[in-house]
Amino acid sequence: MGAVPEEVDVVVIGMGPGGEDAAARLANAGLDVIAVESRLVGGECPYFACIPTKMMVRAADALGEAWRVPELAGQATVRPDWTPVANRIRDEATTDWNDEIAVRRFEDTGGRLVRGVGRISAPGEVTVGDQVFRARRGIVLNPGTDPLVPPIEGLAGSPYWTNRDAVPATRVPESLLVLGGGPVGVEFAQVFARFGASVTVLESRPRLLAMAEPEASEVLAGAFHACGIEVRTGCAVDRVKHDDLFQVHLESGEVFTGERLLVATGRSTDLGALGVAAVGLDEQARTVPVDGRMRAADGVWAIGDITGHGAFTHTSVYQARIAAADILGQGTEVADYRAMPSVIFTDPEVATVGLTESRARDAGIQVRTAITQIPASTRGWIHKAGNEGIIKLVADTDRGVLVGATVVAPAGGEIVGALAVAVHAEVPVQRLREMIFAYPTFHRAIEAALAGLDA
C-alpha cells in the first residue's frame, strides 16, 4: 500500500533563489508550505555560481588593477595567491557548502523543508521518497539546471571540471582548457588566467559570447588577447584524452593540452525526472513554457532557469514574486521581459539590456543603432589603462525609443542601469537627449551614443 498523502497548501520543488523566495513569501502569507530540495537550499547561485564566482572576479580585478600601476602610478609588486580567494569562498560565500543558515531562514517563516528529490506523481501530488504530498493550492517548480556535458569521446569518465568543481578549487592549475566561450567560460577563464594559469578557450561558435552584440565579443576577445588568454573560435572538438594532462583533439587535427579541462558548454534539464508529464507537460522539452503569471499547467507554476526567459538569479526571483502573488490571488503583475538585463563580470564587464540589433531586426522592428567607443569619451581617456569598451544602442525608429543596449566598459554593469530604465519605461530618445549626464563619468558616453542615432 502506498503512503497516505499529507495535505498541504503548496509544494515547492527546488529551492533555488526563486524557489526560496516564493516559498518564503507563501509561508509568510500563512500558507502551509513544503519545500523540497535535493542538494542545498539556495540553489546554484550562492554555492557554485553567482556569489562565489563574483568573489573570484573581485580578487582577479584587484590583480588586474595592480598590473595597471606601472602605466599610471609607479611600481607595484604583485604575487597572486589563491588562498584568500578559496578561503573566502569556503568561509564567507558558502559556509563550507552548508545551507544551515538558509534552512533556518526558511523554517523561520513557518515553512517545512523536506530533503530529497521531488517528483510530480499525479496532478496536485508530489512524491519525495516515501512521502506523498497533496497540494491544495499549487505546485511551484524551481529545479534549475545542471552543467551540460557534451557527448564527446573520452570526456565522460575523465576528471573534467564543471562550475561545481571550479568554485571549490583550492589551487590554480598551471594550465586550463575551457570548453565553451559563453558567460561561464569567459568569467572563469579570466579569473584563472589572472591567478597565473595558462588559459585556452575553445568555442565552437564563431565568437565569444555569441549571444551578445558582435562588437562586444570583439572587445572581449581583444581584452583576452591582451592578458594572454588564447581563444579559439569555430572549433569542433573530436575527442578528449586524459592521462596526467588533458588533451583536447580538434577535428582540424590541432591538439590542446592542459592540466585541467573546464566544461562550460551550457546547462541541461531533466523534465522527465521531475514528472511533468503527469500534468500534461512535455518531458522531452528543455524548458517549461509559462504564461505571464508563471502558470505552466493547471495548479502548476514554474520559475527560474527552466522557463527559458534568461538563466539569471534576477529572473528567478522576479518570477517568484509574480508566481507567489498569483497563488495568493493577489496577482496584478504580468511578467514583462523587454528590459531584461544581464552582466557578464569580465574585465571589461559586458552588460546588456533588451534586444541586440539582430534580435530587434528579427522581430521586425525598424532599427537604428549607434556605437560610441569608451576610450574616446573623456572619462575613458582619463582612465587610460583598462579603458576598452563600447556603448551600443538599438532604437526602434517607429516608436522613438530604445529597445536594447550593450555596455562594455569598466563597471559596465552599473552603467547599463540607466539604459535599463530607458528601455523599461520606454523613455523617448528625445527625452534621453535632454538629460544632463555628469562630467566626466563613463555613463556620460551614453550622450554621445544617443547623438549617433541621428547619423
Ligand X SMILES: NC(=O)c1ccc[n+]([C@@H]2O[C@H](COP(=O)([O-])OP(=O)(O)OC[C@H]3O[C@@H](n4cnc5c(N)ncnc54)[C@H](O)[C@@H]3O)[C@@H](O)[C@H]2O)c1
Q: Residue 18 touches which of ligand FAD, ligand X, none (CB < 5 to 8 A by kind)?
A: ligand FAD
**Among ligand X, ligand FAD, none, what binds residue 210 when CB lies within 5 to 8 Å by partner kind?**
ligand X
User: Are 149 and 158 contacting, i.e. CB atoms less than 8 angstroms apart?
Assistant: no
Binding site annotation covers 305?
yes
Least distance to ligand FAD, CB of residue 366, Å? 31
Q: At closest approach, how far in Å is the CB of 309 from ligand FAD?
A: 10
182 marked ligand binding residue = yes
Compute the distance between CA of residue 289 and CA of residue 232 in angstroms, rounded to an integer: 35
Number of residues that bind ligand X (CB under 6 A): 25
Touching ligand X, residues 390-409 (CB under 6 A): none
Instruction: Work out how close the CB of 258 gets to ligand X at its nearest, in angstroms, rounded to a whole number.
Output: 14
* 200 membership: H or E segment, kind and range: strand 198-202
Helix (H, G, I), strand (E, B) or coil at 193: helix
| 234 appears as a binding residue in the annotation | no
Q: Among all residues, whose Cβ is closest to ligand FAD?
A: 144
Contacts with 365 (C-beta within 8 Å, 6 or more apart), sequence order: 355, 396, 398, 403
End-to-end CA gap in the chain: 75
Based on the shown chain and the rule CB under 6 A, indicate whether residue 447 belongs to the binding site for ligand X.
no
Contact 41, 109 (CB under 8 A): no
185's contact among ligand FAD, ligand X, none, with CB below 5 to 8 A by partner kind, is: ligand X
* Residue 185 annotated in ligand binding: yes
Contacts to ligand X from residues 225-284, by CB under 6 A: 237, 264-267
* Residues in Cβ contact with 59 at an 8 Å cutoff, skipping those fewer than 6 apart: 84, 85, 88, 191, 195
> Interface residues for ligand X in 167-206 (CB under 6 A)?
179-185, 187, 202-205
* CB proximity list for 405: less than 8 A, separation 6 or greater: 352, 353, 354, 391, 392, 393, 394, 416, 419, 420, 422, 423
39's CB contacts (< 8 A; 6+ apart) are: none
- Is 266 within any annotated ligand binding site? yes
CB under 5 to 8 A by kind: which of ligand FAD, ligand X, none does 180 bind? ligand X
Beta bridge partners of 173: none
Chain residues that interact with ligand FAD, rule: CB under 6 A: 13-18, 36-40, 43-45, 49-50, 53-54, 117-118, 142-145, 163, 184, 274, 304-305, 311-314, 316
Q: Please report how many Cα atoms fall inside a 13 Å half-sphere around the Cα of residue 93, on the Cβ side.
A: 24
Residues 300 to 339 in contact with ligand X, rule: CB under 6 A: 311-312
Residue closer to ligand X, measured from CB, 246 or 345: 345
Distance between CA atoms of residues 93 and 99, nearest Å = 11
Residue ranges of the annotated binding site are 54, 118, 180-187, 203, 266, 305
Instruction: Using CB under 6 A, list all residues that contact ligand X.
Output: 150, 179-185, 187, 202-205, 210, 237, 264-267, 311-312, 342-345
Residue ranges of the annotated binding site for FAD are 54, 118
